[in-house]
Chains A and B, each alone.
Chain A
Amino acid sequence: MFEVNEIYQPMDLPEALVLAKQHPQAIIIAGGTDVLIQIREGKLANRELLNIHGLSELQGIEKNEAGDLLIGPLSSFKDVEENALINRHIPILAQAASMVGGPQIRVMGTIGGNVANGVTSADTSSTLHALEAQLVLESEAAKRIIPIENYYLGPAQTARANGEILTKIIIRGVNYRGSGGCYIKYAMREAMDIATLGCAVLVSPAKDSSCISRIRIAFGVAAPVPIRTKNAEAKLSGLDIDEAGYRIASLIREEINPRDSWRASREFRLHIAGVMAERALSKAWQQALERRRAECGK
């Protein structure tokens, strides 16, 4: 038996928002792969839960007329990994989702929970930072859209107010078109492990493919929250790919500030961050060129 004081079970999103207002201290539970474990471990024991598992308004992945991808936060990692729109437009996110936990966890866990938790090691979150995703936070009274960067305040501390529910993850067309991406996860095991470091690189080549027109680099576990390395991004854009590949590792190591933990030392994280960024850039660049060729071939 899970040590829970009450579970509120709304039938739809409007009822969930009312319940979230009435019970602001309730913990929102979606896939349960984090919340139930923390209840088991005692960290979240004897609290109230607001069960949004299965609410249909929060599911589904679609593309609107403007070309924005709208991801329902209850989409499971497997949904994201296998979704045709995601694979066609932002394969990097499918790649990141495929690296979470193991098959059973990927069926149960949700992308919304991965983000909403506010954990730096979340595999999809660094990629969503690179894609400059926007989060829709709804309360019974209001609805606001914030950049994912502003969502993370500190370890497990987020901008989501009591009474608010994450109801959509938006990826704007301008933020993925013409780009190639790659997410690399460094962990001790190939499955069922939390990232020692995660690195997402999204790159758009210039029209003549001679140089980098736009690059975004994001890390998980390089800081208490997922981060972009914007200084490195600024210095790398405009460079040709060989020059960028040569400089990226040292630029990254100057900018990030990882910590010592039982998983890895600061020095080790600094080292692999550079190597991972270099490799991810190379793969992302190849993907961008391949995607461009495929587009032209049509």
Chain B
Amino acid sequence: MRQIIDLTVNGRPHELAIDIRESLADLLRNQLGLTSVKKGCEVGECGSCTVLLDGTAVNSCIYLALWAKGKNVLTVEGLSGPSGELNPVQQAFIEEAAVQCGFCTPGLILTGVELAGSGKVFSREELRREISGHLCRCTGYENILNALEKALRQPELKSE
């Protein structure tokens, strides 16, 4: 059940033959090798498959690949600058030791990038709500919240 769709992934336009039965997570991992898109629960609960779709976080494991037609997909592979510099949200995760096993990290970073792009100011309580679609079984979330607070404080992000 093949179908050809156009979509943009990490800034690059693609024309891909997809199976209409496959999830966006499978398409990104299997055809494009973007293995930062993790498959944890595969039922939309853990958030480790999160990607930004036209700038908004969605769970790619319960999103049909065919729905991504014409859309702009961002994974953490698309975050780094031209010389490989890290995105400020990634840098903050390193500085605040917000990573242990790393499985939830790509998804959380993308939600962080979405929040940074919104230009809004978030209280810690609001940040908790914003990341409530991500499960982290290692850190207890404290360092993740510290990292997000740090990244979202940076003025250069706000202007983007």
Contacts and interface: CB of A to CB of B under 8 A. Distances in A.
Interface of A: 1-4, 6-7, 9, 32-33, 36-37, 40-41, 51, 53-54, 101-105, 107-108, 190-192
B42 interface: yes
Contacts of A1: 19, 21-22, 26
15 contacts: A1-B22, A4-B21, A7-B1, A7-B21, A9-B66, A37-B44, A41-B43, A53-B64, A101-B133, A102-B47, A102-B134, A103-B129, A104-B59, A191-B133, A192-B132
Contacts of B134: 102
Given A1-B26, A102-B47, A36 B132 contact: no
A118 to B, nearest CB: 20
Contacts of B131: 103
Contacts of B130: 103
Contacts of B58: 104, 107-108
B21 A2 contact: yes
A104 B44 contact: yes
A191 B21 contact: no
Contacts of A191: 129, 132-133
Given A2-B21, A32-B67, A192-B132, 18 more contacts: A1-B26, A2-B23, A3-B21, A7-B64, A36-B62, A37-B44, A53-B67, A101-B133, A102-B133, A103-B111, A103-B130, A103-B132, A104-B58, A108-B58, A108-B62, A108-B63, A190-B132, A192-B133
B69 to A, nearest CB: 9
A24 to B, nearest CB: 21
A104 B50 contact: yes
Contacts of A6: 1
Nearest to A103: B133
Interface in B25-46: 26, 42-45
Contacts of B23: 2, 36
A40 B26 contact: no
B20 interface: yes
B51 to A, nearest CB: 10
Given A4-B21, A7-B21, A104 B1 contact: no
Contacts of B151: none
A51 to B, nearest CB: 8
Contact of B20 (A7, A41, A102): A7
Contacts of A192: 45, 132-133
Contacts of A40: 42-43, 62
B56 interface: yes
A64 B20 CA distance: 38
A4 B45 CA distance: 22
Contacts of A3: 21
A105 B44 contact: yes
B57 interface: yes
Interface in B43-94: 43-45, 47, 50, 56-59, 62-64, 66-67
A103 B57 contact: yes
A104 B57 contact: yes
Contacts of B59: 104-105, 108
B22 to A, nearest CB: 5
A79 to B, nearest CB: 11
A51 B132 CA distance: 28
Given A7-B1, A192-B132, A54 B67 contact: yes
B129 A32 contact: no
A84 B44 CA distance: 28
A43 B45 CA distance: 18
